[in-house]
Amino acid sequence: MERKKITIPDLYKMREKGEVISWLTAYDFPMAQLEEQAGIEIILVGDSGSMVVYGNDSTLPITMDTMIEHTKAVRKGAPTAFVIGDMPFMSYHKNVDDAIANAGRFMKEAGCDAIKLEGGVRIADKAKAIVDAGIPVMGHIGLTPQSSAMLGGFKVQGKDAETARNMIADARALEKAGVFGVLMECVPTKVSQIIKKSVSVLVFSIGAGPDCDGQLLIFHDIVGLYQCFTPKFVKQYANIAPIILDGLKKYRQEVRDKKFPGKEHEFKISEAELKKLEELEK
């Protein structure tokens, strides 16, 4: 049966029914097609693409234009999933007008259903302005990779009462700004449980424990495609790197052994045309 387009009310209905929402990142058309076929409800076109697709050591270098192109491809591959565009570094930090314009690009040019931005209290004005422009916003607190330099690296956040309290304040500020959901990254389970009780919007986890309305992981991590680093919160569900590597090695060997291309891969021309060609060769 074909799935109908997933909306924010559908996500809230899932919570009402006690169903946990599955959420993955994707960066291109074939990835998005597979996630759509698997029934994944939310797809994030994450600025993590800067690392897992482009090989940078942070999310900072990826641009708005690059994010838009990836998001267009994902949208085509996943027509019914709820697609969220991730606002890249410096696309919403300077001022509210910039934030609205860039969020608008995700909706107008890439066909997104919502955007995500990192930060709580300090970006709540931008989140509110984007919501006021009619664009659904997902907040992102805890470990926010765009500010990893300020956080001292990719570290668990909220391990002491003071930072946990700040995080609760962040979640509340985002809720007040009108976001439909808050994602918590790398947060102790106890803290995410308190945050879930502190807000009424949907709460999502990436490394924030099981007691959330939905779970997010990065595509490359769960299929074993990113070989640089695997965070503790990741579970690998497939290991496709050795399968791909095996295929690549076989291809190389067959090219060297002149086994590829085989007869079945060649294009033929008709006898009549062949005769004409032979004439040309004389």
What does the binding site for ligand KIV look like in residue numbers (CB under 6 A)?
25, 44, 46-48, 86, 183, 185, 206, 216, 218
Q: Find, among 4, 83, 74, the residue nearest to 43 by Cα.
A: 83
Minimum gap (Å) between residue 47 Cβ and ligand KIV: 4
Minimum gap (Å) between residue 216 Cβ and ligand KIV: 6
Nearer to ligand KIV, 124 or 205 (CB): 205
**Phi, psi (degrees; rounded to nearest 5) at 158:** 85, 30
DSSP 153-195: SS-----SHHHHHHHHHHHHHHHHHT-SEEEEES--HHHHHHH
Query: Under a CB-based contact definition with an 8 Å cutoff, are residues 234 and 48 in contact?
Result: no
Minimum gap (Å) between residue 5 Cβ and ligand KIV: 23
Nearer to ligand KIV, 147 or 163 (CB): 147
Query: Under a CB-based contact definition with an 8 Å cutoff, are residues 207 and 186 in contact?
Result: yes
Q: Is 19 a catalytic residue?
A: no
Nearer to ligand KIV, 36 or 185 (CB): 185
Separation between Cα atoms, residue 66 and residue 74, nearest integer Å:
13
Nearer to ligand KIV, 89 or 168 (CB): 89
Tokens of 227: 């070989």
Q: Find, among 14, 18, 81, 12, the residue nearest to 219 by Cα.
A: 81
User: How far is CA 17 from each of CA 13, 178, 195, 206, 215, rounded to the nearest angstrom?
Assistant: 6, 23, 21, 22, 16
Separation between Cα atoms, residue 191 and residue 143, nearest integer Å:
13
Minimum gap (Å) between residue 99 Cβ and ligand KIV: 17
Minimum gap (Å) between residue 116 Cβ and ligand KIV: 7
Tokens of 137: 């916003």
Exactly one of 19, 185, 266, 271 is catalytic; name it.
185
Nearer to ligand KIV, 70 or 105 (CB): 70
Tell me how far the alpha carbon of residue 244 is from its chain's centroid. 22
Question: Which residues are designated catalytic?
Answer: 185
